[in-house]
Structure 1
Amino acid sequence: MLPASTVSSAEASPAAPLNYFLHAAGPAATPTMYLGWVFAAISTLVALLIAGLLIGALLRKRPAAPAEDLHAEAGGMRWIYVGTGISSVVLLAMLVYLLVTLESVASPASYPQLTITVTSYDWWWKADYGGDPNPARNFSTANEIHIPVGEPVKIQLKSADVIHTFWVPQLAGKTETIPGQTNEQWIQADRAGIYRGQCSQFCGAQHAHMAFEVVAQDPAAFSAWRDAQGRAASVPTGDAAVAAGKHLFDERCAGCHAIRGSDANGQQAPDLTHLGSRRTLAAGMLANTPDHLLDWIQHAQQIKPDGLMPSIALSANEAAALSAYLATLQ
């Protein structure tokens, strides 16, 4: 698990609701946060103004003159002219502000040195760290994206099945992942912390349970994490239970999951090489504990119906052996 020093206070807690989009934590999100506040204020002001005019009209006494005597010169059209003029100016100013904001977040101030390819699946996220001259630092992980604090990070977005949307409210706006197309986004965190992300494009039965986390660490901690993640899993020796668990994994799980350093090289499910280092399971649904892990393996279809992960029946001895092996994947 992550040392406490790598994360910030509860302000960036992954347990916090997604209304944290009201509080930005990076330069890609701050301008749009201000834009949202300004547009919300203008919309509120317009709603109050219209409500006030409506109340005034309802309370105003009818004129004594017959209706046919009410003509344009009575002053009614002046309200329309003034209202149309003010509305046009305000809407034009909002459009200009919107375009300026979009331009300000279109690209980072400096070229990103780190590129992460994120591929969306029904219903989880694969993160590929590549491009490093040292092949040992190129690897895949799932549902947990680590980035260095204070540095822009380029995110290449792909989809393996349907349209999803990548969204980390405190770090950036939404960008769709579309099958057969690669979209791009950049994120940057100004402070260490754990930032909740979510698919925000309806994509199927478990759309609401397709979350991920962005873990922002100081550069030294991030480099150490990347070095550790790049290492292959250790080969279990000497422990009969662990050996039995590995054999069971190879028989029932290796067709979908990969573990670097072993014969498991499945491509359709998360890479489990360093499963124990992750905070959550099942795309944010469960805390990563031994009990939750076994519960997920044995009851995946009850926990996440219609997911591609099947529920796997295990005897008590098989569960103990598989748990012992998976515990070695740190």
Structure 2
Amino acid sequence: MRLLKTVTAAALGLLALQALAAGRDYIYVVGSSTVYPFTTTVAEHFGKATGFPTPKVESTGTGGGMKLFCAGVGVQHPDIEDASRRIKKSEFDRCQKNGVKDIVEVKIGYDGIVLAHSRRAPFKWDLTRRQIFLALAKQIPDPKQPGKLIPNPYQKWRQIDPSLPDIAIKVYGPPPTSGTRDAFVELAMEGGCKTFDWIKALKHEDKHRYKEICHGIREDGAYVEAGENDNLIVQKLEADPTTLGIFGYSFLDQNIDKIAGARVDGVEPTFENIAEGKYPVSRPLYIYVKKAHVGLIPGIPQFLDEYTSEKAWGDEGYLADKGLIPMPKEEREKYRKIARELIPLKSL
């Protein structure tokens, strides 16, 4: 047993030397555009406070990052994945298949999904999740024939509800590879979809059909995929104040001088409302760490120490200043232990 440990340690040491020889003496992070500013901020603090190089952080979207992260082990593959949703079973299985066996899941905090508009918009938006679903779903329940679906006929918001403005439905949002898109369809779209009792019943009768209806976004121009670049969406909203855009709360917070968030089910997307669980469209954020790269790439444990420190993710931490909603203290302690002890996910 002792011999095996010695051989393993020697092998890891050799891998570390190979990594340095290959030019990878820095941590490489990919993934969510929502988590990107948080990880970038931690990377900057880490680089200044330690003797390690500042990690390289790329915004690829959660889905795109998972493909890169799960492609294999070695210096050519990322060490850490930023994710604005939990890893899917299909992604976990792909990782396992490609030799990425020990994945450490660290929840870092919470975020809200907002429907934002220009501060120059001529009215204040106050939407229900049902109205959001009816505006953006590919198929909606036929108002004339209960239990049947029709292609979404609504072109203007007022057609959905007389209280809404008489303007064209146009919403800029992320592509299917985005964790923000996944969270939006699950929390906002599905939240509105299941207000129809017969569709809600489908969840137990025909799960595939239920998901197809509730998660299907229209493709006729009312929803415009704007890529992973949230700054581009801000520009679109400023150019046309009658449009809406989908963001993580943190991005709204960083651009509060230009854009505002719509109320959803009567609740404003504020830091306090998301932290207290009042805002209905909120989600957890994660980072995933490749345990096999610890010892191969220098500084991963120290980087995780910085990320999970109270000065970073605590109630008064520098990530809260960037818009991250901190977890309760007990949850922070749980994930700090997971990060420090590198406890891997066993299954999904």
Shorter-chain TM-score: which interval? Answer: under 0.3
**Which has more radius of gyration?**
1
When normalised by structure 1's length, the TM-score is: 0.22
Higher relative contact order (CA 8 A, sep 6+): 2
When normalised by structure 2's length, the TM-score is: 0.22
